[in-house]
Amino acid sequence: MSEWIEWAGGECPVPLTALVDVRYADGHEEFFVEAELLARDCHGEPDDWWKHEGHPTENIIAYRVINPHASESSQEGS
């Protein structure tokens, strides 16, 4: 598993199909989440926590990639 990478906001830094662990500004952590789910709300509407456009405590401040090989193959297929 990779190390935590600090995140200051912006476009999603990994392929949307990648599985990631994320740490939010409030200290809460989620594990094994598909990156695309962090770019949508529960209704599938844009609500990008990667970009720091939502509630400040929900901003992603760090992430780590769980399946780097799946991410690499996703990038190769693009």
Residue ranges per structural domain of the chain: 5-76
Whole-number pLDDT of residue 71: 46
Residue 69: pLDDT band with limits 50, 70, 90 = low
Report which of 60, 43, 41 is spatially closest to residue 51, judged by C-alpha positions.
60
* pLDDT 10s digits, 27-64: 999 999 998 888 776 666 656 778 877 677 888 999 99
pLDDT averaged over the chain? 80
Q: Residue 23: is its pLDDT beyond 70?
A: yes
Is the entire prediction scored with pTM above 0.85? no
Structural contact between residues 50 and 38, judged by C-beta atoms closer than 8 angstroms = yes
Q: Residue 65: is its pLDDT beyond 50?
A: yes
